[in-house]
Amino acid sequence: MKLHRRDFLKASGGLIVSFSLRAQGPLQGSPPLNQLDSWIAIAADGSITAYSGKEELGQGISTAQQQLVAEELSVPFNRVKLIYCDTALTPDQAHTSGSQSHPANFNTDNLAQAGATAREALFRMASQKLGVPVDRLTASNGVISNGSQQVTYGELVQGKKFSLVLDPKAKRKSPSEWTVLGKPIPRPDLPDLVTGKFEFVHNVRLPDMLHGRVVRPPFLDATVSSVDESSVAGMPGLVKVVVKKNFVGVVAEKPWQAIQAAAKLKVTWNPGPPLPDQATFHDSLRKLPARDTLMVDSGDVEQKLSGAATVVKATYLHPYQMHGSMGSSCAVADVRDDKATIYSATQAVWYQKNTSAMILGLKPENVHVIFRRGSGCYGVNGADTVTYDAAILSQAVGRPVRVQLTRKDEMAFENYGPAYVIDQRAALDSSGNITTWDHESWSPGLGNRPGTNRPGNIITGSLLGFPPADFAPQSAGPAPARVNNNSNGVPSYLAAVTGVVQSGRVRTHAVESRFFTGPLRSPARLQNTFAHESFMDELAAKVKADPVEYRLRHLRDARLKEVLSAAAKTATWETRPSPKSGNRKTGIATGRGAASVLYEGNNGYTALVAEIEVNQDTGKIVVKRMVAASDVGPISNPDGLRNQVEGGALQGLSRCLGEEVTWDTAKVTSVDWRTYHSLPLGFEVPKIDAVLINRTEGEVMGAGETSITLVAAAIGNAIFDATGARIRQVPFTAERIKAALAARA
Amino acid sequence: MAIILKVNGRSYPLDLDPTTPLLYALSDDLQLNGPKFGCGLGQCGACTVIVKGQAVRSCVTTVKSVEGYDITTLEGLGTPERPHPIQQAFIDEQAAQCGFCLNGVIMTAKAFLDKNPKATEAEIQQAMSGVLCRCFTNVRMLRAIAQYGKATAR
């Protein structure tokens, strides 16, 4: 098997390492990835079932996977049944995350190669059966024929296994031949979704099922002092109070009974240590013991900075943000004796199987995890933790238990997307070109995805007494010979990645967080790109260059340049420096901003232009238009891609305008939609133009995290263009914008 | 205590604590998948049902307070085979990602547009300002709502 990007991740910067690191191959018991039968089965009646370890979270990947198999096997879209993420049936493909599903299953491994291997096998079988050479045969609608004779897939396979190893030489169909893949096939789940027929994990109902409710600590890191079970004695429907170390929950016959019992249960807690002051939080990160990484170092950065005519410096701040799933997380578990069946919206069923076995004290082979869709997660939301909740409560009562978190419990104990402090310095020569770029970041982390063996990386595992992954401060080793820009810590403009600037350094400092952290859509890449693409704009402004032209001047990668140029062209970008001349300093001012990046250093070219209005009296921003260009290789489903680009752009807007986790001395205080500020469905939604470059000859890349990565920078740059005020702290609240306006020279 | 709920044209006598939020009666006792728990605080719209033509947040509405009224859930509009025009509009526009918010979006929009068929774009935005879609499928959803609005106004 060929080496994947994720095998190289160890060298990448800071916390990002474990976000997508896969230390070993598939877990024991998983259908082997190199066997055709792990991926595709053809029944005697010719019906085709495909198995995948990449699940539908709402991103449209199941539609694309169904298209892929239909295409390779030359059958109509709806002839393929797709089963994904069930530990009894499907291969272990680790997490569905990191924009990895497309690269993993649509290039030359896994599901795509299974499709090609199956097609060639079917042609060989047909050739034998009909006595006709393979090159005289064609396939259509599940039938192989030479014009006069024909045989169906069902007749060829006869419901048997293929018993073949995936053939790395089996030829995928060329995009020029595609009739199903590459087309805007509508999502097959929509009719059930819009009519309430679709079964989310929230709707799993098992016979004899009870309802659980957890009682989380009222303060961060509080521990149980005592639980007074008599406080709920005799409550209607109450089945059991469950206490295990700091895990507390109740089980009742009906949901409302469980809710009432949990509210009434008297638990005395020992408070945890006080939380750091949020007002000075970002600066405090610089002083904590850190695990340091040197991502890139040309060795001459200080020398170039000290000898430069012009040095520009800026510091960018990003808050903790949350996944904030629309529906609070839910799971259903049936744990009896030594066996467990678990319905979960986890992004990694096989890892959930392993870690659920750990918390339950069962053998992994006796735990069966079945994915059911949850509310959109955008990373590690509460899906894994509530799965442990349901499993523990079910084990305690020996009956199936459903648990859904409260809004507050979802939001107060998430694995947040981490905060960042980023210092940038650059030197410019007499023609305004960048001669060196120095980037240094600090970011807090705690826990992460549970992975194969760390249930303590999330709240329920931690309450049950499992420790999170160790944090050990460590000084940086030498920069690796080959740059890994998975975290986008390295600015695009360095020659070490996609640019022309020979000199540069990137240092990261991972420090310990009091809050759990984990991957949130575009983890680290969004924060780093906000800092890089804002700073690039500051440099362009310093030398009075047009921000797009200045970027192009410092880029080497042709595809990155093309995607930026395409966005600028569609936006009819006016070439001139920022800020826009002639804008008044009061009232409404208009402006535009651009940003671009190669996501993860190799997983999606993307550029964004935003056009905005700033009300300089109120600090309110209205975004009028966003042009998002993307080049992610051959497009599997243009409408699905467009949906991801549009959603990413607006989710990025919500994150950059309002979203920020807040806390007081003891607890998180952003615990509902009044205190955590998301944009609603109805607001003055910008016009969004998704410019899709269909690079049919290239490798398939990820598309789910491209546009979102650029929004904060593009909006910040547009604010500067409109007003001359630079905003360097996300979210761009009206107060911060007014402060930046007041600070204008 | 016996409470009689009239849901999607049928009457259901249920033995319920009268303070039970309607949402739990619908999703647990009647096993309906449409109305969903999003926040339990009336802030997101996921649990919306229509009562007397009004969009009602079932997570903060007791069963007692709607006893005897006609309650319509997402299931009461149409089926996958015969979707209601507003459901069809969402299919036509491919207006979903995870789909968890669809119940709140569709039921809120329907209640609003049925009463305000000539609503402007700005009025629709205002009507949908208390509803969340965290996948941010806003562009497509607002387009689907406008499509239904146009059809209703004709």
Output the CA torsion A252→A257→A258→A263 (10° steps): -140
pLDDT of residue B152: 86
Given CB atoms, is A255 within the 8 Å cutoff of chain B? yes
Compute the residue count for chain B: 154
For CATH 3.10.20.30, list the domain ranges present in chain B. 2-76
Q: Are A186 and B94 in contact (CB under 8 A)?
A: yes
Where does the pLDDT of residue A450 fall: very low under 50, low under 70, confident under 90, or very high at 90 and above?
Answer: very high
Enumerate residues 218 to 237 of chain A having a beta carbon within 8 A of any beta carbon in chain B. Answer: 236
CB contact under 8 A, A681 and B90: no
Secondary structure of residue A722 in the 3-state scheme: helix
Residues 6+ apart with CB under 8 A from A694: A182, A634, A635, A638
Question: Which residues in chain B have Cβ-Cβ distances shorter than 8 Å to A186?
Answer: 91, 94
pLDDT digits (tens, 9 = 90+) for A644-700: 999 999 999 999 999 999 999 999 999 999 999 999 999 999 999 999 999 999 899
Decide: A457 and A448 in contact? Cβ < 8 Å: yes
Cis before A577 (ω within 30): no
B90 touches chain A (CB under 8 A): yes
| Averaged confidence pLDDT in chain A | 95
Helix axes A706-723, A734-742, angle to 10 degrees: 40
Q: Does any CB of chain B come closer than 8 Å to the CB of residue A126? A: no
Task: Give B32 to chain A, closest Cα distance, Å.
Answer: 8
CATH code for the domain defined by A293-302+417-742: 3.30.365.10
Topology given in CATH for the domain delimited by A201-272+323-412: Aldehyde Oxidoreductase; domain 4 (3.30.365)
A87-133 tens-digit pLDDT: 999 999 999 999 999 999 999 999 999 999 999 999 999 999 999 99
Chain position carrying tokens 């979210």 = A731
The yes-or-no verdict on residue A16 having pLDDT over 50 is no
* A745 pLDDT tier (thresholds 50, 70, 90): low
* Cβ-proximal residues to A303 (8 Å cutoff; 6+ apart), any chain: none
The answer to whether the Cβ–Cβ distance between A682 and B38 falls below 8 Å is no
Q: What is the pLDDT of residue A8?
A: 35
pLDDT value, residue B153: 80
For chain B, say whether A682 makes contact (Cβ under 8 Å): yes
* Predicted TM-score of the model (pTM): 0.96
Give the residue-averaged pLDDT of A494-500: 98
Pairwise CB contact (< 8 Å): B138 & A406: no
Strand partners, A367: A340
Contact B129 A643 (CB under 8 A): no
**Partner A contacted by B103 (CB < 8 A):** yes
Which tokens in the block code for residue A56?
């539908």
Q: Using CA coordinates, name the residue in chain B closest to A199.
A: B33
E strands present in A616-737: 620-631, 687-693
Query: Which of B137, B139, B148 would best serve as a mutation to test chain A binding (most A beta carbons within 10 A)?
Result: B139
Other C-beta atoms lying within 10 Å of the C-beta of residue B34: 27
| Spacing of C-alpha A717 from chain mean position | 25
Mutate to test the interface with A, among B14, B29, B39, B142 (most CBs of A within 10 A): B39
Q: Which residues pair with A610 in a beta bridge?
A: A593, A626
* Range(s) of chain B covered by CATH 1.10.150.120: 85-153
The answer to whether A208 touches A227, Cβ cutoff 8 Å, is no
Element holding A359 (H helix, E strand):
helix A349-360
Of residues A195, A643, A650, nearest to B75 (C-beta): A195
Would you say residue A190 has pLDDT above 60? yes
The string of pLDDT tens digits covering residues B31-82 is 999 999 999 999 999 999 999 999 999 999 999 999 999 999 999 999 999 9
Q: Apex CA A313: angle with CA A307 and CA A316, to 5°?
A: 155
Q: How far from the centroid of its chain's Cα atoms is residue A441's Cα?
A: 21
Token digits of residue A675: 């205190």
At B116 the pLDDT is 95
pLDDT surpassing 80 at residue A72: yes
What CA–CA distance (Å, rounded) separates A222 from A218? 7
Question: Would you call A328 an interface residue with chain B, using a CB distance cutoff of 8 Å?
Answer: yes
Interface mutation vs chain A, best among B3, B33, B79, most A CBs within 10 Å: B33
Tell me what the mean pLDDT of segment A48-57 comes to. 98
A643 reaches B (C-beta below 8 A): yes
Copy the structure tokens of residue A519.
């991957």
Handedness of CA A190, A191, A193, A198 (dihedral sign): negative
Contact between A192 and B34 using a beta-carbon 8 Å cutoff = no
For the domain bounded by A31-91+93-187, which CATH number is listed?
A: 3.30.365.10
pLDDT in tens, B7-35: 999 999 999 999 999 999 999 999 999 99
A406 touching chain B per CB within 8 A: yes
**Torsion angles phi and psi, residue A54, rounded to 5:** -120, 125
Determine the distance in angstroms separating the CA of B18 from the nearest CA of chain A, rounded to an integer. Answer: 11
For residue A641, what is the nearest residue in chain B, using CA coordinates? B97
B37 touches chain A (CB under 8 A): yes
Hey, is the C-beta of A375 within 8 angstroms of any chain B C-beta?
yes
Angstrom distance (rounded) from CA B76 to CA B10: 10
Closest CA to A360 of A374, A347, A342, A372: A342
**Beta-carbon separation of B100 and A404 below 8 A:** no
Distance, in Å, from the CA atom of A272 to the CA atom of A413, rounded to the nearest integer, reads: 14
- Which pLDDT score, from 0 to 100, does residue A7 have? 35
Question: In the predicted model, is pLDDT for residue A3 greater than 80?
Answer: no
Name the residue in chain A with its Cα closest to that of B145: A682
CB proximity B40 to A under 8 Å: yes
Taking the CA atoms of residue A405, residue A191, residue A379 and residue A607 in that order, the dihedral angle to the nearest 10 degrees is -140
CB atoms A236 and B103 under 8 Å = no
A82: distance to nearest CA of chain B, Å? 17
The answer to whether residue A11 scores a pLDDT higher than 70 is no
Structure tokens at A680: 């609603």
Asked whether the beta carbons of residue A256 and residue B38 sit closer than 8 angstroms, the reply is: no
In B, which residues are within 8 Å of A373 by CB distance? 98-99
Phi, psi angles (nearest 5°) of residue A234: 80, 5
| A291-315 pLDDT per residue, tens | 999 999 999 999 999 999 999 999 9
Other Cβ atoms closer than 10 A to A582: 6
Tell which CATH classification among 1.10.357.10, 3.30.470.10, 3.10.450.100, 3.10.20.30 matches the domain B2-76. 3.10.20.30
CB contact under 8 A, B139 and A650: yes
**Res. A17 pLDDT band, cuts 50 70 90:** very low
Q: Which residues pair with A588 in a beta bridge?
A: A615
Asked if the model's pLDDT at residue A330 lies above 70, the reply is: yes
Going by the DSSP 8-state scheme, the letter that residue A373 receives in this structure is -
CA distance A637 to A67: 8
Specify the 3-state DSSP secondary structure of B32.
coil
Beta bridge partners of A687: A625
Confidence tier at A24 by pLDDT (50, 70, 90) = low
Q: Looking at the predicted structure, is the pLDDT value of residue A6 above 80?
A: no
Show residues of chain B in contact with A378, CB under 8 Å.
134
pLDDT at B154: 72
> How many CB atoms sit inside 10 A of residue B92's CB?
17
- All residues of chain A having their beta carbon less than 8 Å from the beta carbon of residue B127 are 682
pLDDT band at A512 (very low <50, low <70, confident <90, very high): very high
Q: Tell me if ipTM is over 0.90.
A: yes
Mean pLDDT on B129-134: 98
Strands A247-252 and A138-140: unpaired
Average pLDDT of A612-635? 98
Rg of chain A over all Cα atoms, to the nearest angstrom: 27
The verdict on A587 touching B (C-beta cutoff 8 Å) is: no
Number of A/B CB contacts below 8 angstroms equals: 196
Which of B24, B50, B97 would best serve as a mutation to test chain A binding (most A beta carbons within 10 A)?
B97
- Cβ contact, residue pair B37, A376, below 8 Å: no
Radius of gyration of chain B (CA): 15
Contact A195 B126 (CB under 8 A): no
**Cβ-nearest to A373 among B43, B98, B141:** B98
Buried b (16+ CB within 10 A) or exposed e, A143-158: bbbbeeebbbbbebbe
Measured between CA atoms, the residue of chain B closest to residue A328 is B38
Q: What is the location of CATH 3.30.365.10 in chain A?
A: 31-91+93-187, 201-272+323-412, 293-302+417-742
Residue A302 amino acid letter: E
Residue B87 forms contact with A (CB below 8 Å): yes
**What percent of chain A clears pLDDT 90, i.e. is strictly above it?**
96
Is B110 an interface residue toward A (CB < 8 Å)?
no
Q: Which of A711, A709, A705, A710 is nearest to A99 (CA)?
A: A705
Is the pLDDT confidence value at A331 over 90?
yes
What does CATH list as the number for B85-153? Answer: 1.10.150.120
Decide if A680 and B24 are in contact by the 8 Å CB cutoff.
Answer: no
